[in-house]
Every structure is written in structure tokens, then in C-alpha cells.
Amino acid sequence: MSEKIVDVAAGMIMREDGMLLLGQRPEGKPWAGWWELPGGKLEPGETVLEALARELHEEIGIRVTQSRPWVTYVHVYPHTTVRLAFCFVTGWEGAPQGLENQRLEWVWPADAAAVGNLLPAALPPLRWLQLPTTYGISSIGSRAGVAAFLGRLDAALARGVKLVQFREPQWPDGAGASSLHEVLQQVLKRCRAAGARVLVNSAHPAAWWKEADGVHLRTADAARLSARPALPEGALVGVSAHDNAQIVHARELGADFAVLGPVLDTPSHPGAQTLGWEGFVEGNRDAGIPVFALGGQSTQTVSHALRHAAHGIAGIRGVI
């Protein structure tokens, strides 16, 4: 890695229909002809959002009215190392135009590669955009709770929940693993019919992870690993974390995302120590992957979580 790290603010400029703005690097610049997310270097004394607003005004002629931080990611190029602070821009005045003779294109994030060669540092955020911003966690408890949970799950799926963690560490031993596996099959059937993905908590057999759409690793299970678990192509790996060191380890494992908490008080753990929003921001520092806020989260806290650089929220009662 080069000694000097260049700090850059990069904008995820999103229209209401979900399309994203990309710019093509002009002739005379390194990587000319390659496509990137608009933005530029921070100047001394600037915050990330200040730098982003200035760069976007200079580069594409818009005045930013609404933006928020997202993921900070370090990328090593052959001759420089950049620390990219990716931020969402959801409000602006003026029509984007290439003031530096660069082409601009609106693209669907999933199909962005069709526009041409993408800068390597632009690939991770395009992948992260495929993650929903709400992550539901199961809490069935026993066979007696199955019917009620499936009803709540159906309602959550109808509301648009697209990512669910199957997590039942308290399932009674007398009920048997086979009965819990049958419940998992019902959950998978419902979620797949709704276009939602299911991750199996690492408290459960590894064979189940492959039947589902990946695994969510408990903090202790992630700590024992030095590499990403072997899973089918396209499977997801999530990790539970409680501080910045565990977030960094999740990134080093190659996790697709992490969950950080508890941020706020929860009914199940009244009086337990919480991170608070400032603690969440510190734990999420230079994460390099999307991080969901956990603990006391619900639809009422989503906007607050997003303002504090969370990818979204994860929750049990507040989601499913």
C-alpha cells in the first residue's frame, strides 16, 4: 500500500425511480474512458458532505440539497490508495451536465456494467446497492409459536421485506432439529415466493446455510474464522458485531455486510449497555462493507439510522 491515502467523496446520485448517475472519465485523466461515481478529493478542513457538494457543483453543475453518508471503503490502485466515502445524494437542484467534457449516463445499478468499463472502486457499492435496507430476524421460540410467526412473516413480506435471518437458538431440544428444519422449509417457501432471501444463523447446521441463501455468523463463530465460509455462488454472508474491531474482522472475512448493536434499548434486554448513535458511528468507522443498525430498531428509526451511515435496520419485533 502506498504511504499516502487520498480521501475522496463519491456520490451515489439516485433518482426516485432507482436509477444511478455515472460519469465517464475524460481524456487526459488517469483511467480515461472508464466509468465512475461522480465526486472528488477532500480539501483541507472540509467534511465529506461539504466536499461532495462542492465537487458535484464543479463537476456536473448541481446543487446538493439532500445527502447522507453511507460506506467508507479503502481501495488500493497500482500507484495510489484512495479512501472513498460513498454518500447517497437524493436531493439536488439543476440538471446534471458534464462540465469537464465527460459523458454522463443514468443506469440501473444491477446493469451498470452495460455502460462500459467501470472503475474497480465503483464495483463494491454497485453490489451493495442490491442489499435491502430492512433485515428481519425470526423469533419463533417453539412449535407453539410457528403459526403466529408465519402470519407475521407473511405480513412483513407483503410490506416489502426482502431479507430475513432464520435464528432460533432457543428452540427446545425436545422438539428436535428435524421439526425446526421443517419450519425453515416453510419460511424458505414463503420468502422465495415473495422474492426475499433467507440467511440461516450459524447456530444451526451448515447444511442448512446452503439450502437457504447464505449464513449469518454469530460474533463468536466469525472470530474463529480466517476466511469466508464456502458457500454456493451468489450466497450471502452476514456477521454480527459489537465494535469496530469486529466490523473490521467481518470485512477481512469477505462478509457481504455486518450488523452492529445494540444501538438502543430493546424489550428483551432492558437496561443492557447500548452503543447509542455516536457509538454506532464509531463502530462503523471505515467499515468497508454495509452495516445494519440493530437494537431498538423499527420503521420509525429507519431515517435516523440512515443519517448515521447505517445501510439500514435489522430487527425482530420491529420488523417481523
- CATH entry, 5-128, from 2.60.40.10, 1.10.10.10, 3.90.79.10, 3.40.50.720: 3.90.79.10
Helix 276-283 and helix 244-253, axial crossing angle in degrees, nearest 10: 40
Which sign does the torsion angle of CA 30, 10, 258, 157 carry? negative
Distance CA(8)–CA(42), nearest Å, equals 6
What pLDDT score was predicted for residue 174? 60
pLDDT value for 29: 87
User: Which ranges of 163-310 would DSSP assign to H, the alpha helix?
Assistant: 177-193, 206-211, 219-223, 244-253, 276-283, 302-307
Q: Along the chain (320 residues), what's the average pLDDT of each consecutive run of 10 residues?
A: 82 96 93 96 97 98 98 92 96 97 96 96 96 97 95 98 96 76 97 98 97 98 97 97 98 98 85 93 96 95 96 95
Distances 106 to 49, 187, 188, 266 between C-alpha atoms, Å: 22, 37, 35, 41
Q: What distance in Å separates the CA atoms of residue 300 and residue 20, rounded to the nearest whole number? A: 26
Cα dihedral 139/145/151/153 (nearest 10): 20
**pTM listed for this prediction:** 0.94
Q: Note the pLDDT of residue 20.
A: 98
Measured CA to CA, the distance from residue 126 to residue 132 in angstroms comes to: 13
First to last CA, the chain: 44
How many CA atoms lie within 13 Å of 233's alpha carbon, on the beta-carbon side? Answer: 0
Question: May I ask the CATH architecture of the domain 134-315?
Answer: Alpha-Beta Barrel (3.20)
User: For the chain, which residues make up each domain, given as ranges?
Assistant: 5-128, 134-315
pLDDT value of position 120: 94
